[in-house]
Structure 1
Amino acid sequence: MSFLKLFSFNNLLIQYIIAFATLLIAVNISQCLEGLITAIGRWAVVAIIAWFGAKRWRRHHNNRRLTAYKRAVLVTGCDSGFGNALAMKLNEHGFRVYATVLDTEGEGARNLLTRQRFDGQTRVVRMDVTSDQEVNKVYETVAKELVDNGEQLWAVVNNAGILTLGPLDWGTVDTYKRIHEVNTFGMVRVTRVFLPLIRQSKGLCV
């Protein structure tokens, strides 16, 4: 009889232990879920704030969308390639474009004049970036026309450049001098000359 009572007591004790363990597990699970819900809630708030911030920035950005009105861009090296394509694209967007070339009678120069979306907005001028005289002459022309048209030089794109490929010992010293004269000193020369106009418009040099 005492054995049965002891067995019953042990069963009751085990049941209490199981119930207590179950309660602890339930509390831990609820705490974990609470932490998860809290974390999800925090991330949801962050996501909502970020969404509203992005929406506001997009609206502000659209209001400040780049306009070509009364803005001119000078692009060097427009005989072909990237310079030629950029000059055409700028014309499509309504900018006044000063496209400098080495050959004003070449195919690239003709295409710039005949394929304009806005007639009269692209001016093709000869300019060798290695020549102080030619760069200064173009500057005087551009500065005068900007004043006459009430426009500003918004950007200078130093695109003119040359490239020679091959092993080092294949090229002559004069070849490397020519490359630096066009690609490095030509860029510096053009930027220095046109910098006063860029400062007036708070524009940029590329």
Structure 2
Amino acid sequence: MMNNQAGSVLITGASTGIGRACALHLVARGFQVFAGVRSPEHAEQLRLASGGRVTTVMLDVTDAAQIDAAVATIRAQTNGQGLRALVNNAGIAVPGPLEVVPIEAFRRQLEVNTLSPIAVTQAFLPLLRESSRPATIVNMGSISGRFTHPLFGPYSASKFALEACSDALRIELSPWGIRVVCIEPGIIATPIWDKTLASSLQMLADVSQARLAPYQPLIDMVKATVKPGMGIPPERVARVVGQAITCRRPRARYVIGLDAYGQLVLIHLPTWLRDWLVRLALPPFGDLAPSKK
């Protein structure tokens, strides 16, 4: 039987990055960890990395049948002790100018980052209510849920919405003692940004050059900025997640990273000043873009 000294926790999107780091950190702290993955290959890699201590479950958070199956699996393996924590970590990023982002891509962004965490939360609330310890829902937000960068409108919209849902849930679930926490990291060194750049280039390849050209300087800037391994290690986020789950009075929000704190400063500036500072950091684009004659 697995070590359940600290209680049980489900982490979605645990194949790589923050989710994987959370799974390894929490199992080391004595949790019975259920890690949601989407492929047998990632499941095997996580089992090996954890010495067989992490239990993987196939979980595409956009698939209702897989969510229901995960509930049944975890209920059977927690022996009536319920679930101490749910970490809604699975997410994607869809970047691009809002004028040209395909609506289907935008819809997918909201489906994965906003609607799916709510669907998973709805499904697992009965198990969270059964926990003998104070249960915690950890929603993996982003500082982009409070500050929007050009070209990241869809991603920010999904995270702004997740912040709002977290605020509502925190009050709605308070009668049962269920705590709701939102993690707000800055840039994290995870594969999401490499995947984002590749998927963005593929998506924008279908947009006519005439519509894309005014934004090309911005796109080129992002391509030059996004580098493999940039950002703080995901293990740092995992430690904060562990703290939020185990502390007596968790904060509603945990901001992580110097870049995130820098953006918090911008949030509190007058809008006109914030917009001016953001534009100042951008290359000329649109009608201001340099001629390529």
TM over 0.5: yes
The answer to whether the 8 A contact 1:76-1:100 is kept is yes
Q: Partner residue of 2:47? A: 113
Q: Partner residue of 1:44? A: none
Structure 1: give runs of 5+ residues left out of the alignment.
1-67
Q: Any idea what SS the aligned residue of 2:99 has? A: helix
The alpha-carbon deviation at position 70 of structure 1 amounts to: 5.2
In structure 2, relative to structure 1, the CA distance for the partners of 1:120 and 1:152 (3 Å cut) is farther
Amino acid across the alignment from 2:28: E
Which of 14, 20, 31 pairs up with 1:84? 20
Amino acid across the alignment from 1:156: L
In structure 2, relative to structure 1, the CA distance for the partners of 1:141 and 1:134 (3 Å cut) is same
Residue 137 of structure 1 pairs with residue 74 of structure 2: no
1:1-206 → structure 2 map (5 Å cutoff): 69=5, 71-106=7-42, 109-116=43-50, 119-147=51-79, 151-201=81-131, 202-206=134-138
Larger radius of gyration: 1
Q: Quick one: distance in 1 between partners of 2:68 and 2:14?
A: 18
Q: Quick one: distance in 2 between partners of 1:120 and 1:151?
A: 22
Deviations 1:119-144 (A, max 9, x none): 44311111111111110011001001
Q: Any idea what SS the aligned residue of 1:74 has? A: strand
The alpha-carbon deviation at position 170 of structure 1 amounts to: 3.0
The alpha-carbon deviation at position 92 of structure 1 amounts to: 1.2
The answer to whether the 8 A contact 1:91-1:122 is kept is yes
Q: Partner residue of 1:39? A: none
Point out 4+ residue stretches in structure 1 off by more than 4 angstroms.
Answer: none
Greater helix percent: which structure? 1
Amino acid across the alignment from 1:171: V
The answer to whether the 8 A contact 2:7-2:32 is kept is yes
Q: Quick one: distance in 1 between partners of 2:33 and 2:110?
A: 26
TM-score (norm 2): 0.43
The answer to whether the 8 A contact 1:161-1:183 is kept is yes
Q: Output the aligned Cα RMSD.
A: 1.8
Q: Quick one: distance in 2 between partners of 1:123 and 1:169?
A: 43
Amino acid across the alignment from 2:75: A
